[in-house]
Amino acid sequence: MNKPTLAVLALLATLPGCAAPLGHPAAYLTYRDEPLVAQVALDMNQQQVRDIAGAPSGVLQRSVSPGSCHDYILTRDGQPQAYHVSFDSAGRVDGKGFSTCTQMEDRERARARSPMGIGGGGGY
């Protein structure tokens, strides 16, 4: 790896609050040009996401906050990477990241139980 890349990774590792939306900085660097990662944005509707990414590999009805979550599997060099896109009760994107919907829900549940909603990381 070159020095600028190492510097960026070191910075992301020391700033967990800033790195949390990405989930896994190395995964982001690997998959950032994938349409699902690069093109899906907040407030898109479910059909717009499907037009970009196709059908999800799974759908979860959210329990911590109203809405749903779609699981996708990104693959590069034969290595699978989980990715989720979450939707609010109106069917609009309210988060995405390099984890499964179940992992995202677990983080939301932990954040809801913690004082002042601190912790977890996740979505955008």
The answer, yes or no, to whether residue 1 has pLDDT greater than 90, is: no
Two tokens, residue 52: 């970009």
Cα–Cα dist 83/54, whole Å = 13
More confident residue, 117 or 66: 66
> Is the separation of the CB atoms in 72 and 53 below 8 Å?
yes
* Number of C-beta neighbours around residue 106 at 10 A: 15
- Residue 30 structural domain: 3-117
Residue 46 falls inside a structural domain: yes
The model's pLDDT over 9-61, given as tens digits with 9 standing for 90+, comes to 444 443 333 333 445 789 999 999 999 999 999 999 999 999 999 999 999 99
CA atoms within 13 A on the CB side of 55: 2
Q: What is the pLDDT of residue 115?
A: 75
Residue 85 falls inside a structural domain: yes
Residue 122 falls inside a structural domain: no
Cα–Cα dist 28/13, whole Å = 13
Query: For residue 68, what is the domain's CATH number?
Result: 3.30.1450.10
In this structure, which amino acid lies at residue 96? K
CA atoms within 13 A on the CB side of 9: 12
Q: What is the pLDDT of residue 45?
A: 98
Number of domains in the chain: 1
Q: What is the pLDDT of residue 51?
A: 98
Cα–Cα dist 18/72, whole Å = 23
The answer, yes or no, to whether residue 8 has pLDDT greater than 70, is: no
The answer, yes or no, to whether residue 63 has pLDDT greater than 70, is: yes
What pTM value is reported for the model? 0.74
Per-chain mean pLDDT for the chain: 83
Residue 37 falls inside a structural domain: yes
Residue 94 falls inside a structural domain: yes
Residue 124 falls inside a structural domain: no
In this structure, which amino acid lies at residue 75? T
The model's pLDDT over 92-123, given as tens digits with 9 standing for 90+, comes to 999 999 999 999 999 999 998 887 655 544 45
